[in-house]
Amino acid sequence: MSLFREFIKGVGSRQPLLMLGLGLCQALAVTVSLEGALWMSLAMTCLLVAVNGIVSLTRRLMTPGTALLLAVIVSTTLATALELLLQGYRPAAVPLLGVYLPLAAVSSLVVVRAGEYAAERGAAASLADGLGMGLGFTVALVAIAALREIVGANRLLGYPVIPGFEPVAVIVSAPGAFIVLGLVMWAARAILTRRGEE
């Protein structure tokens, strides 16, 4: 499989959030606003690329089955480092992410990609996979967050969107997250499955 296909599968048939159901916790928690979703997507992409890269590079040196241990050490370190960097340079973004940034270290998306993919493949393919999965996660998170922010608050990145539109407050609440995620997941699966059949 070419590197490009490794990369692009994360946006298509192997879309991590909408097709594989990975990273649901973050998708439900930080999609109240588009800004939070963008920061989380950036963090997850960094984590995926770094963890995949390191696990893949050390896979021949490590005893079989210990890749996950290394993946968790690397991902917890990077997640904490990202949180500290945000506290230092973008303190306003920290409350948007809450505990979900440190929790991203043990997100199913990071752990599964490192343990099931990067631990058995070369560095280039693993990096492409991490980048593609990160991009796929970003696309899904941005779609969900934009929908929730527009419908639930009639705003996008804090700016008003539709004059006179009465926001549907339930969409920015926890049940609203499940509803929007379900709808987006259904739509994405319908589109991607049909495309796969064709």
Partner 1 sequence: MRNAVATIMILMLAIGASYGLLTLLRDRNRAESARTAAAVEAELIRRALPGFQATQKKDGAGRPYLVGLRREGERAIRAHAVSVTASGVTALVGIDEQGRVIGAAVTLPPAPPLAAVSLWGALGLRDEERPIREDAAAWYEAQIKALDLARPADTAAAAERLTAPGTAVTLGDAARSWCLGVPYARQSLTDALRETYGGLVKHLAAQPPAEVRP
Q: Which parts of this chain interact with partner 1 (CB under 8 A)? A: 54, 58, 61-63, 66, 69-70, 73-74, 76-77, 80-81, 84-85, 87-88
Q: How far is the CB of 66 from partner 1 (least distance, A)?
A: 5
Phi, psi of 155 (to 5 degrees): -140, 160
SS (HEC) of 156-173:
ECCEECCCCCCCCHHHHC
Q: How far is the CB of 36 from partner 1 (least distance, A)?
A: 21
Phi, psi of 38 (to 5 degrees): -65, -40
In terms of CB distance, is 69 or 183 closer to partner 1?
69
Instruction: Please state the length of the chain.
Output: 198
In terms of CB distance, is 66 or 108 closer to partner 1?
66
Q: What does the alpha-carbon distance between residue 172 and residue 30 come to, in Å, rounded to a whole number?
A: 10
Q: How far is the CB of 72 from partner 1 (least distance, A)?
A: 10
In terms of CB distance, is 88 or 95 closer to partner 1?
88
User: In a 3-state reduction of DSSP, which class is residue 28?
Assistant: helix
Alpha helix (H) residue ranges in 23-172? 24-29, 34-57, 67-89, 94-97, 100-103, 108-112, 123-153
Q: How far is the CB of 184 from partner 1 (least distance, A)?
A: 35
Beta bridge partners of 57: none
| Cβ(48)–Cβ(127) below 8 Å | no
Q: How far is the CB of 61 from partner 1 (least distance, A)?
A: 4
105: left (phi over 0), alpha (psi -120 to 50) or beta: alpha
In terms of CB distance, is 85 or 169 closer to partner 1?
85
| Cβ(153)–Cβ(172) below 8 Å | yes
Closest Cα to residue 141, out of 151, 133, 131, 153?
A: 133
Q: How far is the CB of 34 from partner 1 (least distance, A)?
A: 24
In terms of CB distance, is 50 or 135 closer to partner 1?
50
In terms of CB distance, is 81 or 169 closer to partner 1?
81
